[in-house]
Amino acid sequence: MSDDKDRASLEELESKLAAVAGKREETRGPNRATGKPSQGMALGMRISAEMIAAVLVGLLIGWALDRVLDTTPWLLVLFVFLGAGAGGLNAYRVAKGYDSAVGLGRAIREHKQGDGE
C-alpha cells in the first residue's frame, strides 16, 4: 500500500516538474516580436563591445606612452593596431565559444544536449 502511495506522489511530482519546465521554456523562448531567438543579438553586441574596448584600450596605452616617451605618434599607431588585433582575437574566441560564458560553441553544445546526442 505504501508503494502505491509513493508511486502516486512521484507521478504527481513528475507532472508538476514538467509543468514548471514548460513554463520556464516559455520565458526563455524566442523573441516575441520576431519569433527568433534573441541570443544572436546579445552575441553581436558582445562581439562589437569586445572590439571597441580593445581598440580604445590600445589607443589610450599608445597615447600615454607617447606622452611619457615623447615618441608621438608612433606608439599610438602601434597600440591601435595591437588593440584591433586583440579585439579581433577576442571576437573570434567569443564566436567560436572558447569562453564558457557565451558563444556559438556553447549554443551548439546546448543544442546537441537537447537533442540527446
Domain ranges of the chain: 1-30, 37-115
Q: Rg of the chain's alpha carbons, rounded to an integer?
A: 25
Is the pTM above the cut of 0.75?
A: no
| Helices marked H in 29-103 | 39-69, 74-96
Is residue 78 within 8 Å of residue 62, measured between CB atoms?
yes
**C-alpha–C-alpha distance, residues 48 and 40, integer Å:** 12
Q: What CA–CA distances, in Å, run from 112 to 6, 45, 87, 98, 107?
A: 34, 25, 29, 17, 9
Average pLDDT of adjacent 10-residue blocks, the chain of 117 residues: 74 83 63 62 86 95 94 92 94 76 64 67
CA angle, 105 as apex, 42 and 41 as ends, to 5°? 15
* The pLDDT value given to residue 106: 65
